[in-house]
Structure 1
Amino acid sequence: MVPTLKSKVIFDNILNIREVLGYFYILNNEEPALNVVWDETLKEIHIHAMGKIQLEILKAIVKNRFNMDVEFGPCEILYNETIESETIGYGHFEPLGHYAEVHLRITPSDRNSGISFDSTAHVDDLILGHQNLVKTHIFEKDHKGILGGYPLTDVNITLLTGRAHNKHTSGGDFREATFRALRQGLENTKNILLEPYYKFSIEIDIDYVGRVMSDISKMSGEFEPPIINENLAIINGRGPVATFMDYSLEIVSFSKGTGSISYIFDGYDICHNTEYVLEKRNYDKDSDIEYTSNSIFCSKGQAYVVKGKEAKNHMHCLER
């Protein structure tokens, strides 16, 4: 049961928004996969869901338990991002009175494997406590990719080396250096947009087999040869959630209620319409100030910024 969609909670304006949020936090405690999020900028409540049927059930639960009518906005696909080839990322954080440097190797890993971490850094260069800090910061939150700002996944991150200062390194310095190194590494390789996929099984009258196979192809899906049993056909296949999530209603409509489709989440894979998704998303990686590849250095008591693409040439750990 993995959420593949995001939706906005819609409710009457006369209701207290904090009270509504409190109700959804109660539900989130019972079902953490809802991932209830309060968007302070938009003043909106967002939730994650497995599909539209779950949203209908959730609507009924909210009515029965809290006597509150809610609707849900259009479903948005939960995309992820990964990389195509290995890259090295460099991050340095040295405003006056602070100091940390981190070098990371980022390599693509198996699809749907998430993020893993290891370290080959020598304790003479970076003590174990600081190495563990880097690991903590890697796993403390989702990291945005550079294509659409979607969560990064399916990578192995290796700490290669780093540097601290006995006097100036303080809390948060390695967090800043780690995030900058990760971002800088992503900018040095090709990135890939991933989308969720369903495995599906369709039961349909043989008269509609041609129609269904044509639909599957149009929706960027793939399928096995139909299994025919008298007048019934079973078609098993796989396709993007984005194109298949409403297909159950279409099947019921054109088959006059005799056909059906069942879905099972089948992980993430390469997006079938990357250009369209990214154009609609319109994410500018250089304008996302929370995620920057720029490093900060200090010289003669003055801090200065080095752009990510030039950061490698300024790193202290590369000094000969």
Structure 2
Amino acid sequence: MTRRVPGDAVLLWGIPTETTLSRVELSLRKLGAPVFVIDQRRIRDTALELESGAGIHGHLRFGPWFADLDTVRSFYMRPYDSRELPAVVNATNNKSLTDYALRTEELTSTWAEVTPALVVNRPSAMAANNSKPFQTAQAASIGFSVPETLVTTDPAAVKAFQNQHGEIVYKSISGVRSVVRTLTSEHDDRLHNVENCPTQFQRRIIGTNYRVHVVGSQAFACSITSKSTDYRYDSACRVEACILPRHIETMSINLTRKVGLEVSGLDLMKDLEGNWYCFEMNPSPGFTFFQDRSGQSVDAAIADLLASGRRSDSPPVTTDRALSPGQLAGQ
């Protein structure tokens, strides 16, 4: 027997047991919002159809449930790579189910791109995360300082960059998570490996780390104290809620709006001279690590945004003052 998803529903897509998604779902239910979760693992139970004509129309079937996508209020996306889902990996006919999962993922992303409903976040807006150098340029255009940066496959260029700037760090240039490490003499024997993988190198900035979660027109900031180059891998790091200078808060919101995101997680640092640097911006932030340590309610803010169904279409706010961006180099 077919059961209809309530009109004006908030759709969530991902793994229901994943902490970030489950926190948002719980917050939405506390608000009394009509919520429907599409469990990405149940790919065999999922069918989505789109029709084009005078606009894009579609519907979703999930098990016994039916949803008219034209009536959806908002959509929160936290999908995993469909090819890595247990139901796909362990399937007897793996290729057939993989193809179906990828087609379903593509259709879902297509609908998320064109629907008038609020989407957190649209695939086109999240695409900037695939290029860290591009993100750096966007941050500089808003007024953030950025570290001197080199993206290269030339070991000699790396050594020259290191000689020029002293202590430098390296990281992936893509959206794939990587550990930020300091380049030392211990890496000399392996430095030739950059010939096979374009790598981003930056002058190391010394200062205080900040994580800023932007949700619509709100900014939730935390300061992070850590002895590690990459605090994400420091279990002893200290996270505390803080208030940003007004112009830094405004710049954080403006950067999020500039790329078309409704929610973001910015990695900032205030150096010893008081300059504010932006290292990167996560378009699908797993905020629970910071929320659990700071006491902030990012999940509730996202739930409020989704329940409202209102997009952040207002123009960027003028900052109180601009910061001079650092040098952005390339080779």
TM-score category of the 2 structures, normalised to the smaller one? under 0.3
TM-score, scaled to structure 2: 0.22
Structure index of larger Rg: 1
More strand by share: 1
